[in-house]
Amino acid sequence: VALYKSVPTRLLSRAWGRLNQVELPTWLRKPVYSLYIWTFGVNMKEAAVEDLHHYRNLSEFFRRKLKPQARPVCCLHSVISPSDGKILNFGQVKNCEVEQVKGVTYSLESFLGPRISTEELHFSQAPPGNSFQQQLVTKEGNELYHCVIYLAPGDYHCFHSPTDWRVSHRRHFPGSLMSVNPGVARWIKELFCHNERVVLTGDWKHGFFSLTAVGATNVGSIRIYFDQDLHTNSPRYSKGSYNDFSFISNNNKEGIPMRKGEHLGEFNLGSTIVLIFEAPKDFKFHLKAGQKIRFGEALGSL
């Protein structure tokens, strides 16, 4: 593990990113993309543009858009899957820890970082002695829930809003870019806390809501469509720090309103989405650990 952690994954990912931007000759595009499609089981019939010659470089192919009807958004459930992927874990947050895969946990506070001001997120004024988990819960009788979705290299790489909510704050953690493959996640403790990630926090009708996009090897690029100031895997940011940005200002007291299913951002290659949110005790997930899920399908409801 120590040897793997010493690999310069950020530098390698930046190099890979530049390679991805190199325009391929038209004659080479079909063989290169066809190999990728065969290796990772990509379904090009869902792509908005099926013609492989259309994609000038690997980056464009990774970030391909889908046909509008390919992912209908479930209207019956309050929380939908923000992306395609595999469900690694879900359930109530217990003892201020979240499971990245079964049996391997990480600290909620290390993952999200210190609490953000009460003015921005309407946090309850919890007594200082309360745990970090209890401080996030704003309404009496509510619980904190989590859901971890792993995006494989062959998946659709855009992610969307999982519910109707407003985004108040963005926290960017520069970090390592180790693989988030479930096999690797089993043997690196607190992997998600080491890796580069973008934490979006805000609130929905039941209280606190957050969506975190976790970077991985060759996925230094995390893009949030409404956040032009975000630059991930940049040499100017050092590991171990974080930088905050507030979407609440004197002119915009509501932050960024997001509708369920609305485009939110994208990865280059595969990675992981982690949802951590507050909901009443009768919230139920409609999932099984290990199942494949697609953007727009139900995650859970009241």
The full 3-state SS of 210-261, as one line of letters, equals EEEEECCCCCCCEEECCCCCCCCCCCCCCCCCCEEEECCCCCCCCCEEECCC
Q: Is the pTM of this model over 0.85?
A: yes
On whether residue 121 sits in a domain, the answer given is no
Confidence of residue 168 (pLDDT cuts 50, 70, 90): very high
On whether residue 297 sits in a domain, the answer given is yes
On whether residue 5 sits in a domain, the answer given is no
Cα 47 → chain centroid: 21
The reported pLDDT for the residue numbered 177 is: 67
Q: Is 110 a catalytic residue?
A: no
Instruction: For residue 274, give the nearest of 69, 93, 26, 10 by alpha carbon.
Output: 93
On whether residue 88 sits in a domain, the answer given is yes
Name the residue range of residue 175's domain.
74-113+132-301
Question: Taking 80 as the threshold, does the pLDDT of residue 156 lie above it?
Answer: yes
- Residue pair 61/55 in contact (Cβ under 8 Å)? The answer is yes
On whether residue 36 sits in a domain, the answer given is no
On whether residue 84 sits in a domain, the answer given is yes
Considering the candidates 13, 59, 179, 271, report the single residue annotated as catalytic. 271
Q: H-helix or E-strand containing 142?
A: strand 142-151
End-to-end CA distance of the chain: 41
On whether residue 64 sits in a domain, the answer given is no
Considering the candidates 81, 84, 146, 221, report the single residue annotated as catalytic. 84
Tokens representing 94 are 């217990």
Please give the Cα distance from 224 to 264 (Å, whole number): 6
Considering the candidates 13, 59, 78, 160, report the single residue annotated as catalytic. 160
Please give the Cα distance from 122 to 139 (Å, whole number): 11
| 148: CB partners within 8 A, 6+ apart | 87, 88, 89, 90, 98, 99, 100, 101, 272, 273, 274
The reported pLDDT for the residue numbered 17 is: 58
Q: Express each pLDDT in 68-109 by its tens digit.
A: 888 999 888 899 999 999 998 899 998 888 776 666 777 888
Q: What is the identity of the amino acid at 229?
A: D
Total residues found in the chain within this entry: 302
The reported pLDDT for the residue numbered 85 is: 93
Please give the Cα distance from 59 to 91 (Å, whole number): 34
Report the domain count for the chain: 1
On whether residue 3 sits in a domain, the answer given is no
Confidence of residue 170 (pLDDT cuts 50, 70, 90): very high
Please give the Cα distance from 65 to 294 (Å, whole number): 14
For residues 218 and 159, the model is more confident at 159
Q: Is 160 a catalytic residue?
A: yes
